[in-house]
Amino acid sequence: MSTALPKGLFISFEGIDGAGKSSHIEALAQAFRDQGRVVTLTREPGGTPLAEKLRALMLHDAMDPLTEALIAFAARRDHLVQVIEPALARGEVVISDRFTDATFAYQGAGRGFSWEQLSALERMAQTGTALQAGQAPDFMREPDMTLWFDLPAEVAAERLATARVPDRFEAQPGEFFARVAQGYAERARTAPQRFVRIDAHASRHAVWQQITQAVVRKGWLAIMVGSKP
């Protein structure tokens, strides 16, 4: 008799550059592994050979906001088809460093591109990719939970000042990141059932506690005593 696969989970980490989300992604992945789950760690833009090539273009080549948005969604479609949906169909936990909310925050709020047009692209790129039996053809894939690292833009700028050589997004002025932060806040407002706000200005340990509490409340992990990133 075959054993049914556990339900796949899709968790995204979001936040402006410098918010500190990357330092907690591997820790959460390990927490799931420690409790017997298979984890796929990935990122956007990127996650597949094609999407990584598109990522390099977005980060380093000058282009207008529409071109950025089209590249982001092209990379996302390939990422969904090649990596995310197969992993979810196998019952894995998919943890992605950014997903569609980043496009609304960066190309939408940051660059000033139309959210209405982004919504149309979102529907186009993320519909009809699901591999699980029983999913309707018009099902649009979204994360089951989005952990939003909320940090004031000026604090993020201070952190980035000592980082590596910046890409074309990291090199943007503070006003750009303030708009991006507002974009994330708007996405959170419109999807409160999916977003979990993380106070990214707190200590590293306090941030980790916020993350684990959010996942434990969902029943996806048992209480983790003494775990830390």
What span, in angstroms and rounded, lies between the C-alpha atoms of 111 and 116?
Answer: 14
Query: So what's the pLDDT on residue 133?
Result: 66
18 is in an annotated binding site: yes
What span, in angstroms and rounded, lies between the C-alpha atoms of 119 and 187?
Answer: 12
Domain annotation for the chain: domains and CATH numbers = 9-218 (3.40.50.300)
Low-confidence ranges of the chain (pLDDT < 70): 1-5, 133, 156-157, 159-167, 170, 223-229
97 is in an annotated binding site: no
112 is in an annotated binding site: no
Query: So what's the pLDDT on residue 5?
Result: 59
DSSP H helical segments within 127-229, as ranges?
A: 153-160, 174-190, 204-217
228 is in an annotated binding site: no
Query: So what's the pLDDT on residue 2?
Result: 44
**Joined tokens for residue 6:** 């556990």
Name the helix (H) or strand (E) containing 96. Answer: strand 93-97
DSSP H helical segments within the chain, as ranges?
A: 22-34, 49-60, 65-79, 85-89, 100-103, 115-126, 153-160, 174-190, 204-217
25, 88, 93, 159, 214 from 28: Cα distances, Å: 5, 17, 10, 22, 11
In 3-state terms the chain splits into helix, strand, coil percentages (rounded to 5) of: 50, 15, 40
Contact (Cβ atoms closer than 8 angstroms) between residue 95 and residue 39: yes
**Joined tokens for residue 172:** 């943007």
- For the stretch 84-122, pLDDT in tens is 999 999 999 999 999 999 999 999 999 999 999 999 999
21 is in an annotated binding site: yes
Query: So what's the pLDDT on residue 224?
Result: 59
214 is in an annotated binding site: no
**Rg from Cα positions in the chain:** 17
Query: So what's the pLDDT on residue 189?
Result: 96
* Residue that the structure tokens 């273009």 belong to: 57
Contact (Cβ atoms closer than 8 angstroms) between residue 208 and residue 224: no
69 is in an annotated binding site: no
**Joined tokens for residue 71:** 């590249």
Q: What's this model's pTM, rounded to 2 decimal places?
A: 0.91
17 is in an annotated binding site: yes
**Joined tokens for residue 93:** 């936990």
Q: What are phi and psi of 161, to 5 degrees?
A: -60, -25
